Chain A
């Protein structure tokens, strides 16, 4: 059974600092890994998707890496801003699931202070 873990559960940084968010998974049989952000009372916004064959993906200030063999992904957010405050979730898509259901971590709640 796949287990997805995100540590830390909460993180507070001053504006301008780089953010490093960690995601680990126990079963490396994944198709892809997706990072999302969720603002309070809202749905999820897709940030980046990394295919299992890729090592990293970049979009603007965001960079996500994937080490499938060690079961880890890291989301880097450069030069954080107060608008980056949100809960960040990672999720994996398993090759063994014919329906393609995402397995979510519990999330990291981020606060960027001005």
Chain B
């Protein structure tokens, strides 16, 4: 089946650091990629949607200057958490889809811990 690779799986860093998370579709071209955040015992919260070569569309309440998303190619999207603080600690998951009516495939997530 389709594979989405997300890296790194875990990051621990000091407050004020910027952290970049990569999301790659390994065996299909992802026209659309999504970034989610998940709090313990809760469902996924969509942060932003991006199409290749276009600016990301952010959900209400998500700071675009804090969470920078780049979807530079049909197989790669990155999420950069700028000047991260302890409240940004969370589980971040990316997903990718080849076409509008195609299955959405998810990465394994990144556990971000800001000290």
Residues of A within 8 A of B (CB): 31-32, 34, 36, 41-46, 49, 51, 89, 91, 93, 99-102, 104-107
Q: How far is A41 from B44 in the complex, measured between Cα atoms in Å?
A: 13
Given A31-B100, A46-B2, A99-B32, 12 new contacts (CB under 8 A): A36-B106, A41-B109, A42-B109, A44-B106, A46-B1, A46-B105, A91-B104, A101-B46, A102-B34, A104-B43, A104-B44, A106-B43
B101 contacts A32, C-beta separation under 8 Å: yes
Can you list 29 pairs linking A and B with CB atoms under 8 Å apart?
A31-B100, A31-B101, A34-B103, A41-B91, A41-B109, A41-B111, A42-B109, A43-B4, A43-B6, A43-B106, A43-B109, A44-B93, A44-B106, A45-B106, A46-B1, A46-B2, A46-B104, A89-B43, A99-B49, A99-B57, A100-B97, A101-B34, A101-B46, A101-B49, A102-B34, A102-B46, A105-B43, A106-B43, A107-B43
Bitwise, B78-102 to A at CB < 8 A (1) or not (0) is 0000000000000101010100110
B22 within 8 A of A: no
